[in-house]
Amino acid sequence: MIVSRDALEQHITSRTKLIIPVHFAGAAADIGPIRKSADDRGIFLVEDAAHALWTQYMGEQVGVKGTSIFSFHPIKKITTGEGVMFCSSDQALLDRIRQLKFHGLGVDAYDRQTQARSAQAEVLEPGYKYNITDISAALGISQLARVEQFNARRAELAAGHAERLEEVDEILPLRVPAYPMKHAWYLYIVRLDTEKARLGRNDFMRELKQRNIGTGLHFRAIHLQKYYREAMAMQRGMLPNTEWNSDRMCSVPLFPDMTLEDVDDVVNAIKECLSQ
């Protein structure tokens, strides 16, 4: 969900140390005003860019400015098998992350200055083993060459979904943001008007499964998960907009190997489910 600066500022207090805006399903959050709010108050900002590989905001790739984290999980647009990419324009922060992610060593295993392993490397502080493997990195690099091709195909399929779903009154479209951005279409989300459909989202997903159409439920409201309910006393009603959307959304198939005939199959199955 896209957070406005005004909505964000209502929740900033003296205890706020970090803001994590989320780029959702391939669409960019309106990060400019959010970043200004954080900068004005000296609050650190990290962009959750797990869905935003090759997404653009105001003519720039997400991740070019500030600090962001991308995901290369097997279901993402490109994969390294598992792992993430940390990006930052803060050189001191990058140096610290490089040190912590590989045992706290004073240099990386591969020293870019000498193009070899440094014989003088020593542990400067307790660190972790958080580096991606060379084999995984090679897989990711090989897929990077195809990102634009993947994106173009995803955009074509997303347009096909949108065009065909316009005539389905029970599906509420997600608005594409009006500010300058380029959608990367990581997911295609449908939002069910449960009142018109007389069908709950979970039943809707089950009906589609019976018609051999897989769906995904990615975004259950976090504050209603068991841990947060029990450990932090969170409950329904605290975030009504989040809860309303969480109860109605799921993703339908969108991947580069699909055809427009596959899109027809998905939309026809949706129509069948809603015509019962």
Query: Where exactly are the structural domains of the chain?
Result: 5-144, 148-274
Mean pLDDT for back-to-back runs of 10 residues, the chain (276 residues): 71 94 95 94 96 96 96 92 94 92 76 59 88 92 92 96 96 90 96 95 97 93 95 94 94 96 98 92
Q: How far apart are CA 194 and CA 15, in angstroms?
A: 38
Backbone angles phi, psi at 80, to 5 degrees: -115, 15
Q: Order of strands across the sheet with 188-192? A: 171-172, 188-192, 249-252
Q: Is 101 one of the annotated active-site residues of the chain?
A: no
- Residue linked to tokens 């990290």: 46
- pLDDT at 155 (0 to 100): 96
- pLDDT at 108 (0 to 100): 61
CATH number 1.20.120.530 given to 5-144: no
* CATH architecture of the domain with residue range 148-274: Alpha-Beta Complex (3.90)
DSSP-assigned letters across all residues of 96-147: HHHHHHBTTBSS-SSBTTTTB--TT--B-S---B-PPPHHHHHHHHHHHTTH
- Among 52, 2, 267, smallest CA distance to 157 is for 267
Chain length of the chain:
276
Q: How far apart are CA 268 and CA 154, in angstroms?
A: 19
**Topology alike, domains 5-144 and 148-274:** no
The 3-state DSSP composition of the chain as helix, strand, coil percent (nearest 5) reads 35, 15, 45
Q: Which amino acid, residue 262? A: D
Is the CB of residue 46 less than 8 Å from the CB of residue 18? yes
- pLDDT at 1 (0 to 100): 44
- pLDDT at 276 (0 to 100): 78
Q: Which of 17, 65, 76, 226 is catalytic?
A: 76
How many Cα atoms within 13 Å fall on the side-chain side of residue 161? 25
